[in-house]
Amino acid sequence: MENSVSKLFILFLSTALLLATELIQCTVTYDSKAIIINGQRRILISGSIHYPRSTPDMWEDLMQKAKDGGIDVIDTYVFWSGHEPSPGNYNFEGSYDLVHFVKTAQKLGLYVMLRIGPYVCAEWNFGYSVTLSIVLAAAMQKFTTKIVAMMKKRNLFESQGGPIILSQIENEYGGVEKLLGAPGQAYMNWTASMAVGLDTGVPWVMCKQPDAPDPVINTFNGFYCDTFSPNKPYKPTMWTEAWSGWFTEFGGPIHKRPVEDLAFAVARFILRGGSFVNYYMYHGGTNFGRTAGGPFITTSYDYDAPIDEYGLIRDPKYGHLKELHRAIKQCEQALVSSDPNVTKFGPALQAHVFSGQGFCSAFLSNSDTKSAAQVKFYNKKYKLPPWSISILPNCSSAPVFNTAKNIGLHYETRAGGILGPVTLSGLDQGTTVLTWQKWTYKVGMKGEAMDLASPNNVSSVEWTQGLSSEGQNPLTWYRAYFDAPEGDEPLALDMLSMGKGQAWINGQSIGRYWPVYAQGNCSTCSYVGRYHVPRSWLQPTQNLLVIFEELFGDVFKIALVKRTSST
């Protein structure tokens, strides 16, 4: 009897283990129509959220807002320079806790696209150059392998039951390969082979890489994705960067992309066979510290995204896209199960009809940028505004949504930094030209090396107290203490009274401040001099603010303000 019970227990345990194994044996494949997750073709809407451009306490809220807005996938680059600031010295803590970021997406039932690179561009300082990637191939392989192993160890790939359904190797390399010729192509093939050999169990992609070798999927980045098609007929059509706006440069305009144009671009991509679209960015965030790329990328990486730099919903962009996503999802079965029957009503007017047994969805489009039009479809008349698409999940019903309603080679040689001429005057010899002397580059200032911004440091300098507004000079360090304001609204440091420099709060760098105004005929293009301060950086009282001012300014007008809405 005892033996029988033991056998029964072993049988039960074996069955349980078998069932558990089957539960985590998830699959991600693809065909010409779409990414296939566990046997189901999917129309996937993705949004880029970069973990080091926010703080860990913001991640869940950002992702929940993305999910509520109709996002299926959280897309992020993996930032090599942040994770390995020097060879073999790794950082996966705080805002660089990649595992925590991925697990947060998993907790909310979201998928993840992990763009490992390691070259990422992303207007990120030391995002690394595509040409340097070849030189650093061994280091690149080591880092890529480390990231994949880290994800595997925690069962984070979909093939292990995790949320990661796609990975990217390299980034926008196609143009560089073309210029380099055979060596460039050899590097690209090696990169793809290396990535596939890591055996993640999910597909790899290469963006803007027309000759990506099988089984890697080539994808597209840009404002529009009208003419792109993958390099093989059995690969899905994927748009890895649909630009929701654009980055800002000090002294340049703040770019805005009308949501009506963005929605039109996405709907047209879908009706032409696209099945994966990623908004770059869905939340842009902040370039804390010295992470902003050069030469003049601003501290704010807001990007006119649906969720603004502070984590607030930006309407009408957020709400408009949410309705677009809802309409597209209602057409998902038709889109992944059939090819469109296209009817032309005129030069700029078309109907794309996806139909089969038990379903019929239609997209009515007017690509004329100036004139509205009326078309007759299924014995009904529909008015189409200019540059718009009406989506009908059911061909015989009224539309549920209309879109109108409501880089190069050798970046390391690019001129930047000290361009000259540099002269030294007043010496006995007259004027000495220093332009062609050997110049070296050093990150940081002496005050940083002395930990002047650290709240825990016993000061090694004597601070002058009782500052007057008349006594302020350039190239000066300032410090003050303040209490955290009540409430939970996002906060910003108002630096409009200052010139240019760096600021720290409790030892955390908010990045460069520089409320510079745009040149030329652009009266509304000034870069607003307010800088995101995450509340997680603050304590109730005695918060330390340290600034280094390079020019002139009035420190008495610096203020901590609340952000209560996003417009």
Reduce the secondary structure of 226-292 to three states and give it as a string.
CCCCCCCCCCCEEEEEEECCCCCECCCCCCCCCHHHHHHHHHHHHHCCEEEEEEEEEECCECCCCCE
The residue among 512 and 8 whose pLDDT is bigger is: 512
Q: Are strands 501-505 and 543-549 parallel, antiparallel or unpaired?
A: antiparallel
Q: What pLDDT is stored for residue 469 in this prediction?
A: 61
Exposure of 243 in the CB half-sphere (CA atoms within 13 A): 15
Q: Are strands 349-356 and 359-366 parallel, antiparallel or unpaired?
A: antiparallel
pLDDT at 547: 95
- pLDDT number for residue 523: 53
What pLDDT is attached to residue 470? 61
Q: Are 117 and 170 in contact (CB under 8 A)?
A: yes
Distance separating alpha carbons of residues 47 and 281, to the nearest angstrom: 6
Residues in a beta bridge with 86 = 89
Spatial contact of 208 and 225, defined as CB atoms under 8 Å apart: no
pLDDT at residue number 23: 44
**Active-site position among 84, 123, 172, 332:** 172
Q: Which CATH number describes the domain made up of 446-562?
A: 2.60.120.260
Residue 500's pLDDT band (cuts 50, 70, 90): very high
pLDDT tens, residue by residue, 296-315 = 999 999 999 999 999 999 99
Q: What is the DSSP letter of 116?
A: E
Residue 74 pLDDT > 60: yes
Minimal CA–CA distance to 300: which of 283, 317, 323, 277? Answer: 283
**If we measure between CA atoms, which residue out of 80, 82, 78 comes closest to residue 113?**
78
Mind listing the pLDDT tens digit for each residue in 127-136?
754 445 556 8
Alpha helices in 370-419 (DSSP H): none
**Domain residue ranges of the chain, discontinuous segments joined by +:** 34-337, 341-402, 446-562
Q: Active-site residue 172, yes or no?
A: yes
Burial degree of 157 (CB within 10 A; 0-12, 13-18, 19+)? buried
Contacts of 21 (CB under 8 A, 6+ apart): none
Residue-level pLDDT at 267: 98
Report the pLDDT value the prediction gives residue 19, as an integer from 0 to 100. Answer: 40
CATH class of 34-337: alpha beta
Q: What pLDDT does residue 524 have?
A: 52
pLDDT score recorded for residue 419: 65
Q: Give the residue-averaged pLDDT of 78-88.
A: 93
* Bridge partners, residue 480, by sequence: 545
Return mean pLDDT, the chain: 89
Please give the average per-residue pLDDT across 343-372, as a whole number. 96
Least confident of 255-259, 279-283, 427-431, 503-507: 427-431
Least confident among 130-139, 334-343, 537-546: 130-139
pLDDT grade, residue 195 (50/70/90)? very high
391 vs 460: which has the higher pLDDT: 391
Q: What is the DSSP string of 455-499?
A: TTS--SSPPPPS--GGG--SSEEEEEEEPPPSSSS-EEEE-TT--
- pLDDT for the residue 431: 81
Active-site residue, from 84, 177, 241, 309:
241
* pLDDT, position 2: 45
What pLDDT was estimated at residue 420?
67
Q: What is the pLDDT of residue 18?
A: 40
**Does this chain's domain 341-402 share its CATH topology with 446-562?**
no
User: 1-54 pLDDT, tens per residue?
Assistant: 445 444 444 444 444 444 444 445 689 999 999 999 999 999 999 999 999 999
In CATH terms, the fold of domain 341-402 is Immunoglobulin-like (2.60.40)
Q: What pLDDT was estimated at residue 238?
A: 98
Give the mean pLDDT of 110-129: 87
Q: Model-level pTM?
A: 0.88
pLDDT in tens, 229-244: 999 999 999 999 999 9
- In the chain, what is the straight-line distance between the N-terminal and C-terminal CA atoms, in Å? 75
CA dist 292 and 488 (Å) reads: 27
Q: What is d(CA 499, CA 464) in angstroms, rounded to the nearest whole number?
A: 21
pLDDT confidence band for 384 (50 / 70 / 90): very high
Tens-digit pLDDT profile for residues 422-480: 888 877 777 887 777 777 777 788 899 898 999 887 777 888 887 766 657 889 999 99
Residue 68: how many CB atoms within 10 A of its CB?
Answer: 11
Q: What is the pLDDT of residues 141-179, one digit of tens each?
A: 999 999 999 999 999 999 999 999 999 999 999 988 898
Specify the higher pLDDT residue, 413 or 250. Answer: 250
